[in-house]
Amino acid sequence: MILVTVGTQDKSFKRLINEVDKLVKNKVIKDEVVIQTGYTEYNGSINHFAFTSQDELDELVKKCDILITHAGVGSIFKGLEYGKKVIAVPRLKKYHEHVNNHQLDISKNFEEAGYILVVNDMIDLGKTIKNIKKFVPKKLEIDNQELINTVEEFIDKI
């Protein structure tokens, strides 16, 4: 199962949801898909919900094989905590998905450290989903000082 989550940001992330919908319709994605839409309006046929409890979301993350998420630190960490293959799609200011482009830096740091794959251009999402089967992510260790340093460095920059 593929879980798509856009987090709780009060802005739409239709760019991601529309691309996932297109990939399902075109049978590029053949897995079951569940989408957490947040504030994004979606009327398609994929199983979806706007918000749920943290416990229910945790259960979905545990069940999924692939987590496609906005590039929020909490969502990325949740996927890594449960040992999931994570594809992060940063929300971008130019599409009015966030107030700035900090998610580009967050996702880049996680990808460079070997934890996740990043999709900055929606045209690459289908290919990344196909290639993630070969991707072996670095395991998250709760006391992993390298990851903690990466996040702290990023926070210091902003």
| Three-class secondary structure assignment of 8-64 | CCCCCCHHHHHHHHHHHHCCCCCCCEEEECCCCCCCCCCEEECCCCHHHHHHHHHHC
- From 140, 24, 132, select the one nearest 76 (Cα to Cα): 140
Domain boundaries, the chain: 2-157
* Residues 34-79: tens digit of each pLDDT: 999 999 999 999 999 999 999 999 999 999 999 999 999 889 999 9
157: part of which helix (H) or strand (E)?
helix 145-157
- Tracing tokens 């200011």 back to the chain, one arrives at 93
CATH architecture of the region 2-157: 3-Layer(aba) Sandwich (3.40)
* Residues 101-117: tens digit of each pLDDT: 889 999 999 999 999 99
Structure-block tokens of residue 2: 């593929």
Structure-block tokens of residue 1: 């199962």
pTM of the complete model? 0.89
Structure-block tokens of residue 121: 């251009």
Three-state secondary structure call for residue 65:
coil
